[in-house]
Amino acid sequence: MKEIERKFLVKRLQKDCRKKPLGLFIQGYIAISDDGSEVRIRKEDSKVYLTVKSSGELVREEKEVKMTKKQFEILWPLTAGRRIEKIRYKIKLDNKIAYLDIYKGKLKGLKIVEVEFKSIKEAKNFIPPDWFSREVTYDKRYKNKNLAIDGLPPNNL
């Protein structure tokens, strides 16, 4: 499946955006290739997944496979030193859905909002609301895999 997504830092949180979180997400990276592709595992409350993503910025290939908790527990140690933790919120933006991630642990203070699109044209025509800050779609430092390894970029907020 193709994923078309733009990412932005968050200038300020909307009044009601944190009413009901989708949950706590923990994810770790099993493999990160020099070309930018990745294999990660993620736990979203009681659901667990293995995801393979291609390299890319605005557009990437993504394959997701459900796992058992036992499989997750077996693979989790392989992600040591390459993990992130965040609380995710789903927000309606006119006819779009945005996902607000508020990071925890070593990334505490970082807030990123992602908006997914059906086409490149739709993504390019998107006008971010005023509570969004700088776009980081093309800034590799803000890829979750790089945040997991390198931590917060300097002067990120």
CA atoms within 13 A on the CB side of 74: 7
- For the residues 90-117, what does the mean pLDDT come to? 93
pTM tops 0.85: yes
Looking at every residue in the chain, the average pLDDT score rounds to: 93
99 annotated active-site? no
The pLDDT value given to residue 18:
66
Per-domain residue ranges for the chain? 2-150
Model confidence at 1, pLDDT cuts 50, 70, 90, reads confident
Percent over 70 (pLDDT), the chain? 97
Q: What is the pLDDT of residues 13-29, one digit of tens each?
A: 877 776 788 899 999 99
The pLDDT value given to residue 40:
97
Instruction: Return the CATH fold of 2-150.
Output: Hypothetical Protein Pfu-838710-001 (2.40.320)
- For the residues 82-103, what does the mean pLDDT come to? 92
